Amino acid sequence: MLPQKVVICGAGFLGSNIARTLVNSTIGPERHVQLSSRNPQKIYSSLRDLVGAPGRLLPPVILDITKPDTMSHAFEGADAVVSLVGIMEGTKKQFEDVQWKGSENVAHATKSVGAKLIHFSAITANPESNIPYVRTKGLAEISALRICPDATIIRPSLIFGPGDNFFNRFSSLTQFLPFLPVFGGGTSRFQPVYVGDIAQAVEILTRNNKEINKSVSGTFIEAGGPEIFTYRELMQLILKYNHRSRAIVSFPFQIGLLQGMIFEMLPKNPLTVTRAQIEQLKSDNVVNLSPPPNHKSFKLLVERHSAPLSSLDDILPTYL
């Protein structure tokens, strides 16, 4: 079986974990993995000493997803492209330029080289939303499938694992805050999914297995872990596993929106929150229990071809 070239477009927390899994995989074809982003060198340097990296981890290629002319060289020879395009904060225009139009550019470049597109979105994606993050994620999904009809769209819930920006962030806040804040009672629900399971799903999707390819072509995969927690329960788990005692204090959403308005004007810091992020807390972030026919089960995909999904209670104590 000939080796495959997999381009990971995005070199952050998720991209590094996917790269690690692909270079160490002994299942399916040998994969040559290339990191491509505006600044891929740092992640590349952290991965090149992995056991499977020599010969499999290709030199990184710099690109800018907002500039299509920087992408053709990066995608040359690719069999699969993993699009991790996304930002968490920014103006309406920045969200449109990066998450929507940037994703379009990745899809066009993927199609031009005849590669398979694995596009990462969000479980809350909705092109009709008035929240820029959610809206542009939804618009990007539409564009990705229009340009690459055989693409697979992965919609994760909250992703956790060593180096994540959620549990680590709130755990660090307990070092200097006398309480942990929640909004609206902390009743919004999440279905945290382990980054290693997400990476394993990508490994499965890049095995070049005809049966798997056919089953996921043009479909959505909502990726959630085995358990559902409220926001307040997640804060309780953080305190449990970092062995600190703090009050969990609920604030009205209106207070959160006011906080967001103020912090949006200040330099980014551990307390930074945006109004859009507060608005997102008004909705659940869980897998659809009655999915449409074009949705495939993340749990069945991973557990059929790999291992059972990882529990938050098993992983969180290992890094908090």
Give the pLDDT confidence of 238-263 residue by residue, as tens digits: 999 999 999 999 999 989 888 878 87
Higher pLDDT, residue 279 or 3: 279
Mean pLDDT across the chain, nearest whole number? 93
How would residue 290 be classed by pLDDT, with cut points 50, 70 and 90? confident
Tokens 């659940």, residue located: 284
Q: What is the pLDDT of residue 51?
A: 67
Residues 6+ apart with CB under 8 A from 229: 189, 190, 191, 192, 237, 312
How would residue 265 be classed by pLDDT, with cut points 50, 70 and 90? confident
How confident is the model over 270-294, as a mean pLDDT? 88
How confident is the model over 168-181, as a mean pLDDT? 93
d(CA 75, CA 106): 9
How would residue 276 be classed by pLDDT, with cut points 50, 70 and 90? confident
Q: What is the domain-level CATH number for residue 66?
A: 3.40.50.720
Q: What is the pLDDT of residue 287?
A: 96
In a domain, 234, yes or no: no
Higher pLDDT, residue 206 or 270: 206
3-state SS string for the chain: CCCEEEEEECCCHHHHHHHHHHHHCCCCCCEEEEEEECCCHHHHHHHCCCCCCCCCECCCEECCCCCHHHCHHHHCCCCEEEECCCCCCCCHHHHHHHHHHHHHHHHHHHHHCCCEEEEECCCCCCCCCCCHHHHHHHHHHHHHHHHCCCCEEEEECCEECCCCCCHHHHHHHCCCCCEEEEEHHHCCEECCEEHHHHHHHHHHHCCCCHHHHHHHCCEEEEECCCCCEEHHHHHHHHHHHHCCCCEEEEECHHHHHHHHHHHCCCCCCCCCCCHHHHHHCCCCECCCCCCCCCEEEHHHHHHHHCCCCCCHHHHHHHCC
Does position 79 have pLDDT exceeding 70, yes or no? yes
How confident is the model over 19-29, as a mean pLDDT? 91
In a domain, 77, yes or no: yes
Q: What is the pLDDT of residue 150?
A: 97
How would residue 267 be classed by pLDDT, with cut points 50, 70 and 90? confident
Q: Taking a C-beta distance cutoff of 8 angstroms, is the pair 101, 63 a contact?
A: no
Higher pLDDT, residue 55 or 242: 242
Give the number of other CB atoms < 10 A from CB of residue 289: 5
CA distance readout (Å), 289 to 175, 176, 194, 271, 286: 38, 39, 20, 34, 9
Does position 271 have pLDDT exceeding 80, yes or no? no
In a domain, 43, yes or no: yes
Residue 194's beta-bridge partner residues? 160
d(CA 210, CA 10): 27
How confident is the model over 15-36, as a mean pLDDT? 93
Q: How many domains does the chain have?
A: 1
Does position 3 have pLDDT exceeding 90, yes or no? no
Q: What is the pLDDT of residue 269?
A: 76
In a domain, 147, yes or no: yes
In a domain, 78, yes or no: yes
How confident is the model over 4-16, as a mean pLDDT? 92
% of the chain exceeding 70 in pLDDT: 99
In a domain, 280, yes or no: no
Quote the domain boundaries for residue 27.
4-160+193-224+287-308
Give the number of other CB atoms < 10 A from CB of residue 61: 19
Does position 137 have pLDDT exceeding 80, yes or no? yes
Q: What is the pLDDT of residue 97?
A: 96
Residue 116's beta-bridge partner residues? 80
Q: What is the pLDDT of residue 200?
A: 98
In a domain, 218, yes or no: yes
Q: What is the pLDDT of residue 1?
A: 67
Q: What is the pLDDT of residue 245?
A: 95
Tens of pLDDT, residue by residue over 209-236, are: 999 999 999 999 999 999 999 999 999 9
In a domain, 297, yes or no: yes
% of the chain exceeding 90 in pLDDT: 79
Higher pLDDT, residue 4 or 271: 4
* The pTM of the whole model exceeds 0.85: yes
